[in-house]
Structure 1
């Protein structure tokens, strides 16, 4: 029995060490490639050539109960330099559909009965397309996009990619929590998207700003319509395409959490989704092992990766046990190296120093995540929706960022 426990402990240690040291490996690769002047993104060279095809895009906006934030997003889409698209606003369970868009490219859809599910809203939009679109893009109401967003996506689809995740940046960073929330996004953009793309592997998707061939999206079959949208989509799509691409040049802005209470609610939902849909990770890993596909094996292992709070918590537990069993110095080194790497990645990915300075308050952020973990059962019994309130137009953000 003691031998079995010892083996299990070593397996857990190896898994945690792998997850915590991988970002350092990626950062080293990133530094070496930049030192050698190697350009990894295929976009710059492809954008210099006229596209072989102009893809027809359907921008789907899933609104639930409120259309307050929809006008700024529609405005940013209508400012696109690329013109071959339609915007579909699904006003689900909205009592007052009082927005008017006097533009032929904007279609407002109001389901006759409440759908109360993002997946159903997307399907409703697809079933009401006014033309045959080559690809669809999924947005939340609080998003905004830069004027070249669709033009960049058209370039990536012309390169042969069938599913492309775009680059999510913070729309607001005025509060401490929004800065810390943005820091987490920057970290995961680097680890799960930029470096995956540079190494020719599939990138993780967000639940927004993902562009997918319409026929490919239709091939995804849902058995559960309440949550887990992004996890189900990426688990299915990554097994159907050679590479799930990441377009860093296509920027979509997303509203960040403003308060600790909102953070706790959001992370409670995310933690619940991680455990509830863990089986998708096994499905991807198993298919990768059966087909000897390294991309799928790696993707599956990363889907299994515990949330950062649990990784660090597990690392400190291993450190405590190692004080008695040996190897404590190794865990001190791993934890210290991860913290240094986290700060370095956020610095590399951020344009200024405000977000980096906010990292000094990470213990506060972790406190609310720990509270979220204790409330995880509540997420299975109630709909923990993140409330967004920042009514900002793309013109304001472009002036602020200098783009």
Structure 2
């Protein structure tokens, strides 16, 4: 009995050491990333549709829309579309007052960001554009956002994730902790993945897609629509690149209760995606290992396997104690 217990503990410690070492590899590799600011084209080329899903966001939405109106990009090359999803406030009116095109959606059976975006994408399918931008309503973006994305699209990148950071780190200790955590999750790790040939992943905010990508793949309506869409892209040979020079700052919950509710929702969705996609990613990686795609797919599987930082820290302490 003691032998089997010791064997089990050793196996758990080995697995934990592997996970921690893998995260350390991504972090260390991130320091090798090219941090030089790339020159931007003097003449922007691409037409953008900026999509903003919003549910009762009349208070925060004006900040985003005013911010977008002042971007360093020709205003005739981008339009902002707000989908007021099952709203009971003045979100749609506010959107129009601040220069956006408002789309009101009412469907109490199919509620949520995923359904709202899926509906709006279908409505805009025939609107001329080169790329789609998805932003949350509680966000502001760096003035160079579209200029950076325009340059990357010109280089042939098809799916791009901006650096998604915290807008209000000083509002409370919960937001401050989230600020530090997202600096690792949304900056260091994607940088490391770019160096190693992985995919930066989609974070749900600050995402850019070429028009043909959105025509080829339908947006998911699930709770974790960004993760599911990323998996679909990976399994179909696509890869997400990271644009650290383009930044989106979003409001984060400033209370423990709000933060816990949000985290539980994210982790439940992540576990569902792990059960569904990790076997597919590993199988695909073994099949396509010869063409350089193994690490990209293996890394995406690892992203689902590795537990949240708080759990990983607790397990590490227990492993050392054992």
Q: Pairwise mapping of residues 217-256 of structure 1 onto structure 2 (< 5 A)?
A: 217-221=214-218, 225-256=221-252
- The answer to whether residue 111 in structure 2 is matched with residue 113 in structure 1 is no
Residue 285 (structure 1) shift: 2.2
Q: Distance in 2 between matches of 1:201 and 1:273?
A: 22
Other-structure match for 1:258 = 254
Q: CA deviation at 1:241?
A: 4.3
The aligned counterpart of 2:71 is 80
Query: Residue 186 in 1 paired to residue 200 in 2?
Result: no
TM-score by length of 2: 0.86
- C-alpha distance in 1 between matches for 2:183 and 2:287: 33
1:14 equivalent in structure 2: 14
Superposed CA offset, 1:139-182 (max 9, x none): 11101112111110111111111100001122112222211110
**CA shift at 1:44, angstroms?**
1.0
Paired residue total: 310
Q: Does 1:63 align with 2:41?
A: no
Q: Deviations over 1:272-305 (max 9, x none)?
A: 1222221223322221122112221122122221
SS of the aligned residue for 1:161 comes to coil
Task: Verify the 8 A CA contact 1:67 1:141 in the aligned structure 2.
Answer: no
Question: 2:159 aligned with 1:166, yes or no?
Answer: no
CA distance in 2, matches of 1:237, 1:43: 28
1:4, CA displacement in angstroms?
A: 6.7
How far does residue 226 in structure 1 lie from its aligned partner after superposition?
Answer: 4.0
Q: Relative to 1, partners in 2 of residues 1:26 and 1:112: Cα closer, same or farther, differing over 3 Å?
A: closer
Q: Distance in 1 between matches of 2:227 and 2:14?
A: 25
Alpha-carbon displacement from aligned partner over 1:40-65 (angstroms, at most 9, x marks no partner) = 258615x2x556x7122111100113
Which consecutive residues of structure 2, in runs of 5 or more, have no partner in the other structure? none
Q: Work out the CA distance in 1 between the residues paired with 2:313 and 2:95.
A: 49
TM score, norm. by length of structure 1: 0.70
Q: Distance in 2 between matches of 1:16 and 1:286?
A: 23
Please tell me the root mean square deviation across aligned C-alpha atoms, in Å.
Answer: 2.6
Q: Aligned with 1:89: secondary structure?
A: strand
Q: Unaligned stretches of 5+ in structure 1?
A: 34-38, 322-403
2: distance between equivalents of 1:193 and 1:290? Answer: 25
Instruction: Give me the whole-angstrom Cα distance separating, in 2, the residues matched to 1:106 and 1:159.
Output: 29
Match of 1:208 among 197, 205, 212: 205
The aligned residue for residue 86 of structure 2 is 93
User: Highest CA radius of gyration, 1 or 2?
Assistant: 1
